[in-house]
Structure 1
Amino acid sequence: MLIKDLIKNNIFHHRLALLANILLRAITLGARFLLIFFLARYLVPADLGMYGLLIATIGYALYFLGLDFYTFTTRELLKKPTDKWGGLLKSHGGLALTLYAIFLPILLSVFWSGSLPWSLVYWFFVLVVLEHINQELMRLLIAISEPLMANAVLFFRQGLWAVIVAGVMYFCPALRSLEFVLLAWCIGGALALLLAVYRLHQLRIEGWSNKIDWHWIGQGLKVALPLLVATLALRALFTIDRYWVEALGGLEVLGAYVLFVGFSNALLAFLDAGVFAFIYPGLIRSFQKQDAPAYKQGLKKLAVQTVVLSIVFVVFASFLIGPLLIWLDKPLYVEQQALFPWVLLATVIYAIGMVPHYALYAQGLDTPIIKSHIVGLLVFVVVTWLLATEWPDFAVPIGVAIAFTFIFAWKMTAYVQLTPIEFQPYNPKSEV
């Protein structure tokens, strides 16, 4: 009986932890989704546009400060005994400090060029460092099987402060400013950092006395840099689009664009948390084991859930956007509503394109992913440039939609051509 009770207790605690993880992630996603509407209601459109520029620039800067080196570190941690972890993390930290010394001064060019105003320079550098450290620590917590703490860190980093900002802005008109939003973001990031450091300290990780292993760092860069190129190309598209909208229409139109992108990106957030995160690890395991039936079943599930959720989201978004814009009580957003269908279309194409993306990634076929992102960025630049003269209001979202269509087609073609026939669920020959 004692053994059965222990098993029941373990199952109960496992389910409780899983429920807590889901709730924390759901609350965080909900807070991020709602924040954009509260900012749209209580900030002037130009401030919302500047907020969007700041987020995009910080998000892009993180890749230069991290180089996606975590993809190498996490695999290495799982291979080594725990008494070696401190040395690996110390080496990773040494790389991070080196990258800070190189790229933080270079990032000043964003302000020298006038892309962002100097009034935001202090906010920018505090936030970019906090976001980078928190992101790395959260990934580390996930890698060492601390998902609940990782989600708690994410909640402080992105969720709690967003809820507080919305509430304070509702009750206190004097604090309806971009500076208050950035202050709350900094405080949320600082609390997340303290929580992550406290938990890692409790784990008593050993090996910190080891010297920084630059040879190991060099090996890791060889692994991380190729995929980083693809990521930088794709993220460049998500950054350049905002600056291009501002150049063509000004900060107020950018505010509307940021609002519509924020609304549409809820689809990607839900897919990432509820579909991709659960299915793609199974695809990797199935392909590594050469289990074709399991791989095909997982890929079918990924495709069906992505398409169905996308259709449902489009239906609800189409009905909700009108009443939401009326509630915001900003005529500019209603005037720019014609942008929304293009933004939504681009988001749906991107979401569906993640199906062949994960199908290739699970097989270790990184080259077509890298090439599609680089060429996709070039397609976006060319198409937007050609449309900017005749259709300046729609050039950017149409350019994004066409670029994502191109990327999807490239990945789908690569999947069909490179995937072994027995791993293609929709190829009749694979059933023979």
Structure 2
Amino acid sequence: MKTAVVLFTRDLRIRDNPALAAACANAEQVVPLFVLDPDLGKLSPNRTRFLHESLADLRAALREKGGDLVIRTGDPVAEAIELARTTGAEGIGMAADVSRYARRREERMRQECERHRIALRLFPGVTVVNPGELRPGGGGASYRVFSPYHRVWRAAQWRDEAATPTKIKLPPGVAAGRLPAIPKGESPDAARGGETEARRRLTTWLKHIGPYPELHNDMPADGTSRLSPYLRFGCLSPLELAQAAIKQEAEEYVRQLCWRDFYYQVTLAFPQLSTKPLRPNGDIEWRDDKDALQHWQDGTTGVPVVDAGMRQLRAEGWMHNRARLITAAFLTKHLGVDWRPGVQWFFRWLLDGDVPNNSGNWQWVAGTGNDTRPYRKFNPIRQAQRFDPEGVYVRRYVPELKGVEGVAVHQPWRLPEKVRRDLDYPGPLESHRDEAVWLRP
């Protein structure tokens, strides 16, 4: 093959990128392409900033190999076809994905490639194991329970890592296009995007991965990898990360990567995961309480551990995994508010927000998804006392409570009235003030 186009989507890296590796191995000239879709650019200022930083980093990496990143704006299918036609490309390669948007894009690309007699090839790379590769023995479309999926996933034959290209030759006369400006974003302490930053963090993480089983739920220790945004944008290969963790014998961390794959195969079978309950008869009579939802979003519920998590979300575009569980459970199980506004609020702020994991985890917590115990109810105070026993995490994100000593920080409503007035911190909302289960754990 003389020329091939590689359409980057959520695989913004040159290392272990199967689509890029195959094009470089089988074509004399390769056109790396990213299309800025105006519709997707409206979704999240935080993710837009992260994306644009990642594109700048990807262009620099491709230029080091002799190539470049071609930037276009518009419909990805139309732009890819047009570029293939003008460069005489015989094939287009891209990573397969599972969201409704991605699958519609793939189908339209397939139709247009057939019409223009251009070969289309879809590649793995977004997950460790291809979402459609593992099927339950009973013939279902996907695994509905994690444990059996984990057993099969761990025993599966994983693909080999794709080779990193040593040289990339761009066809002559192709205008690379201008990189988009990097916006400010909404979260002042958000992580920086790009494969370079991802690899720096990966190196650091592998040096500290040993205590992960003991620390990943420890909220003040912040003992998680924080690599999820780089997986979400494909700045880091999930397969490479899983294999590196296995070499470190970090099976508990590998298990978390399996959870990520689990929700991708769920989404492949159930693409409405962000809007419809996965569990049969999962429709619940949710309370319509816009005031409670607003307090939850603003981190002013009067429950310190919930407010700390919601404020971390705004400040960093990220939230500790245990805090995600606590805040989501509080909205759905204590306030009785629908999980779907929670999904959208997290989508707005999270750098790692994607359909499979964000929506899948929300449905798990709300009792409408894959949880085998859908009626469980997490007590936020007990959670705080267990995973933030001295209140370090709470004080880090709720400055009004910095002067409160010891475990009293988790239940400021028990402090003397004069002390409470001086804190300038709200009491519990009226809508859940009488919940004795968590007010008096």
Question: TM-score w.r.t. structure 1 length?
Answer: 0.22
Higher strand share goes to which structure?
Answer: 2
Higher helix share goes to which structure?
Answer: 1
Question: TM-score w.r.t. structure 2 length?
Answer: 0.22
RCO greater where, 1 or 2, for CA within 8 Å and sep 6 or more? 1
